[in-house]
Amino acid sequence: MRSNMSVAIVAMTDPDTSPNPDVPTYEWNDKSIILTAFYVGYIIPQVTAGQLAKNYGPKWILTAAVLAGSLLTILTPLVADLGSWPVSVSRVLQGVTQGFIFPSCHTLLSKWVPPCERARLCAFVYAGSY
């Protein structure tokens, strides 16, 4: 979800690639704000997400984060019709939801994986995210 907008924004904003004549066009400034907004939101929960996962259970935090992020991603085309600022707000919220995923994964791995296998499985988690 983190990189899908980098690919989609090209097709979404180029009137030559869309059969829809009403496709919104954004300036370079707007595009850069939209692409940066995710990472602004991603920073916010990093400090507290691990503790929340530890207190409330990483399985539930991880599930809620993935579901909320998926819902916001599904709603992105509808929000895109409203302009660049609503898309930016949506991307910040997507970043906030995705910011809970890795801390929750680490809490999960620390509880379920034996210490001798933890490094390998953490590497699999990070490799699978790209």
Band (34; pLDDT cuts 50, 70, 90): confident
How does 106-122 read in b/e, with b if 16+ C-beta sit within 10 Å?
A: bbbbeeeeeeeeeeeeb
- pTM as predicted: 0.81
Band (12; pLDDT cuts 50, 70, 90): low
